[in-house]
């Protein structure tokens, strides 16, 4: 039988994968189980949309078997299975995700709880196995196929027999060596622990044959060895558990399991609300922005469940744009199972939940800001821009929600400061919050305009992000103090007002006129200033718009 080669990229990726993507080998089991769970979800989805298929909950399960002598570990599911073509394309090309294609085809980008979307999980099997065999029979097919691979050099596919629809994956577990313990993956107890750790909440039963010593029926001191099939996962989703039962690690594992991101979450909130509307939610603030975060491509949203059953993968209605970085899920028993997208948009309950979530996310961020400044700055560096956009695009209440979450560089502190911190240390009688704009901290520091204001003992916010000034303009004021650019004409510095500028002799005026003529079209006036100290000249602007802001505006498409 001709051996097909993995696609070139796949071979390289496979090597890389096996050696580096996963920090712990044991996660291969999580990946295989989540694929199995996805496959059952797909059956469930088909059953919902196709009347000829009935979904009997008890027919759907995942089973793990061990054959120590043969060093074989088997993960079997009763999911939708794969056709020959699917075996070839889904398991033959790394980073090709059949689950993603399924979502696209069925136009359910907001569809079912299909975890897979990166197309690499399956290959994790090669971290612990020399050989992997997949026997699969797809829904609607009599014929089954056997896919086999011994790693990077390719795979074969041949006809096979299988009684029922579903997939059986068999790993030939590597031999243990001095440094590497692979035997643990053939040990029932260890496997059980791995399942508990990573896949406890999977909604379908994960069954295993467990060997146990049991008291003999008619005796109270004689034991016998019995093998019993048990469901090892609790099937209780993590969000329905009590916070006190869960550790940070549990939440982290769940973040990974759900593929919310490749990073670690910075912090999480677990809510269980029992008010007008009842819901549970787990929300994560990621540590870093996904590569496409600041692009059109990025889709915000939380997973939405109705009493444990996923009804939407990404419900955008649950998050305002300025909190679009939040990952996680909401489960509410008060939502109908077959709620449609259109209905969602108008759903009053959903609006209530959103409002509540916004409050909680804000609280969490403020808590972080107060108690763990370093973490908060990590957050702000990743997502601060989004908050500032939120203020800028505000026609409602964003401003109030967000103004205390903003950070800016300043002339006083090496670190970022909040508006509150600025206001708290304002000079007596100071009514204005001064700011300067520029590409970098150093550039602003060198502006002639900043010198005078700083010299007078006023703190200046250094706005280095092009959205900064727009956000401040939108805020208009903070605690009754208005914002003013150090390059604006009237700085309201008392005796240093331009109105108190030095006398201009006829001689001076001639020079100024000459300058103005030379710079015609570029400046509207040339005049003496008292605000300069060590610099001979500076630019100020007359209107409300600073030079930096004009630059940004002129770069924007019409
Ligand atoms: P992902 O799960 O991210 O899509 P994987 O590498 O884990 O990527 O799996 C690749 C694809 O192979 C899946 O998307 C799915 O189409 C298919 N697949 C893997 N395991 C199974 C299974 N047990 N049953 C049905 N299809 C599966
Ligand atoms: Mg997967």
What pLDDT digit, counting tens, does each position of 232-262 carry?
A: 998 888 999 999 999 999 999 899 888 888 8
Contact 471, 520 (CB under 8 A): no
CA–centroid distance, 122 to ligand 1, in Å, is 6
C-alpha 101/C-alpha 353 separation (Å) is 31
Is the predicted pLDDT of residue 114 greater than 50, yes or no? no
Q: Which atom of ligand 1 is nearest to the CA of 123?
A: 6
* Mean pLDDT lowest among 242-246, 456-460, 549-553: 549-553
Whole-number Å distance between alpha carbons of 205 and 62: 6
Q: How far is the CA of 315 from the centre of ligand 1 (A)?
A: 24
CB 160 within 8 A of CB 135: yes
Closest ligand relative to 100 C-alpha: 1
Residue ranges for the known binding site for ATP are 31, 35, 77, 82, 90, 96-98, 117-122, 167, 341
Give the C-alpha separation, 264 to 176, whole Å: 31
Would you state the pLDDT for residue 95?
Answer: 45
Dist. CA 32 → ligand 2 center (Å): 7
Atom of ligand 1 nearest to the CA of 166: 24
In this structure, the residue with its CA closest to atom 7 of ligand 1 is 121
Q: Given this model, what pLDDT does residue 395 score?
A: 67
Which of 81, 116, 123, 132 most suits a substitution to test ligand 1, by most atoms within 8 Å of the C-beta? 116
Ligand 1 pocket by Cβ (under 6 Å): 31, 35-36, 39, 77, 79-82, 90-91, 97-99, 116-122, 167
Region 149-170: what's the mean pLDDT?
A: 91
Which of 49-63, 157-171, 414-428 has the lowest average pLDDT?
Answer: 49-63
Residue environment code for 134-158, b if the CB has 16+ CB neighbours within 10 A, otherwise e: bbbbbbeeeebbbbbbbbeebbebe
Ligand nearest to the CA of 34: 2
**Least distant ligand from the CA of 104:** 1
Ligand 1 nearest atom to the CA of residue 118, by list position: 3
Question: Count of alpha carbons within 13 Å of 534, Cβ hemisphere only?
Answer: 7
Provide the b/e sequence for 380-417 (b: ≥16 CB within 10 Å).
Answer: bebbbbbbbbbbbebeeebbebbbebbbbbbbeeeebb
Identify any residues that bridge with 482 across adjacent strands, giving them in sequence order: 432, 477
Q: Which two tokens stand for residue 536?
A: 């001979």
Question: Burial of 556 by CB count in 10 Å (0-12 exposed, 13-18 middle, 19+ buried)?
Answer: exposed
ipTM of the complex: 0.99
Mutate to test the pocket of ligand 1, among 30, 98, 119 (most ligand atoms within 8 A of CB): 98
Q: pLDDT tens digit string along 16-41?
A: 666 666 667 888 998 899 899 989 98
pLDDT digits (tens, 9 = 90+) for 172-218: 999 999 988 999 999 999 999 999 888 888 889 999 999 888 888 88
Of residues 131 and 311, more confidence is placed in 131
| Interval between CA 159 and ligand 2 midpoint (Å) | 24
In the annotated binding site, the residues are 31, 35, 77, 82, 90, 96-98, 117-122, 167, 341
Ligand 2 centroid to residue 92 C-alpha, Å: 14
Atom from ligand 1 closest to the CA of residue 119: 8
Q: How do residues 96-110 score in pLDDT, each as one tens digit?
A: 555 555 555 655 444
pTM score of the predicted model: 0.67
How would DSSP label each residue in 384-405?
Answer: HHHHHHHHHT-SSSHHHHHGGG
Please tell me the distance between residue 193's alpha carbon and the centre of ligand 1 in angstroms: 23
From the CA of 184, how far away is ligand 2's center (Å)? 22
Minimum-distance ligand 1 atom for the alpha carbon of 79: 24
Q: Which ligand is nearest to the CA of 119?
A: 1
Note whether 337 and 311 are within 8 A (CB).
yes
């Amino acid at each position: 039988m001709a051996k097909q080669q993995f696609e070139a990229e796949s071979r390289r990726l496979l090597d890389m994968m096996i050696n580096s993507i996963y920090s712990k080998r044991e996660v291969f089991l999580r990946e295989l189980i989540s694929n199995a769970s996805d496959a059952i979800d797909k059956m469930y989805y088909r059953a919902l949309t196709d009347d000829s298929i009935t979904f009997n909950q008890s027919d759907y399960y995942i089973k793990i078997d061990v054959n120590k002598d043969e060093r074989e570990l088997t993960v079997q599911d009763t999911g939708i299975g794969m056709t020959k073509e699917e075996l070839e394309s889904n398991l033959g090309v790394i980073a090709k995700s059949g689950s993603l294609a399924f979502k696209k085809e069925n136009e359910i980008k907001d569809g079912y709880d299909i975890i897979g979307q990166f197309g690499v999980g399956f290959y994790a099997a090669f971290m612990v196995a020399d050989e992997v065999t997949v026997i699969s029979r797809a829904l609607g097919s009599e014929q089954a196929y056997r896919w086999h691979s011994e790693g990077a050099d390719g795979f074969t596919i041949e006809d096979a027999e299988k009684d029922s629809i579903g997939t059986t994956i068999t790993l030939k577990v590597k031999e243990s060596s001095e440094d590497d313990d692979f035997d643990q993956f053939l040990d029932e107890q260890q496997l059980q622990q791995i399942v508990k750790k990573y896949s406890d909440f999977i909604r379908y039963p994960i069954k295993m044959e467990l060997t146990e010593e049991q008291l003999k029926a008619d005796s109270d001191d004689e034991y016998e060895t019995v093998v019993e099939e048990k469901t090892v996962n609790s099937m209780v989703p993590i969000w329905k558990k009590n916070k006190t039962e869960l550790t940070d690690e549990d939440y982290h594992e769940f973040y990974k399991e759900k593929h919310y991101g490749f990073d670690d979450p910075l912090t999480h909130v677990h809510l269980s609300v029992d008010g007008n509307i009842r819901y549970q939610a787990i929300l994560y603030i990621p540590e870093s922005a996904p590569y496409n975060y600041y692009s059109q491509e990025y889709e915000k949203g939380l997973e939405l469940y109705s009493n444990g059953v996923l009804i939407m993968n990404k419900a955008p209605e649950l998050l305002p744009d300025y909190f679009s970085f939040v990952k996680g899920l909401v489960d509410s028993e008060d939502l109908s199972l077959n709620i449609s997208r259109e209905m969602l948009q108008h759903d009053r309950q959903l609006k209530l939940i959103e409002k509540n979530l916004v409050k909680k996310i804000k609280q969490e961020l403020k808590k972080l800001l107060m108690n763990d400044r370093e973490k908060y700055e990590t957050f702000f560096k990743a997502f601060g821009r989004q908050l500032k956009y939120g203020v800028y695009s505000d026609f409602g209440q964003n401003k109030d929600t967000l103004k205390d979450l903003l950070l800016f560089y300043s002339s006083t502190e090496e670190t970022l400061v909040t508006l509150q911190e600025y206001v708290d240390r304002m000079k007596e009688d100071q009514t204005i919050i001064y700011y300067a704009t520029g590409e970098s901290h150093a550039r602003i520091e060198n502006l002639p305009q900043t010198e005078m204001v700083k010299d007078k003992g006023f703190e200046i916010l250094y706005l280095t992000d092009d959205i900064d000034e727009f956000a401040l303009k939108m805020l208009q004021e903070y605690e009754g103090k208005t914002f003013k650019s150090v390059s604006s004409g009237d700085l309201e510095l008392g005796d240093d007002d331009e109105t108190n500028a030095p006398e201009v002799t006829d001689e001076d005026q001639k020079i100024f006129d000459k300058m103005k003529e030379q710079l015609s079209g570029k400046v509207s006036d040339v005049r003496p200033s008292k605000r300069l100290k060590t610099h001979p000249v500076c630019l100020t602007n007359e209107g409300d718009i600073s030079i930096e802001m004009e630059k940004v505006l002129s770069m924007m498409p019409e």
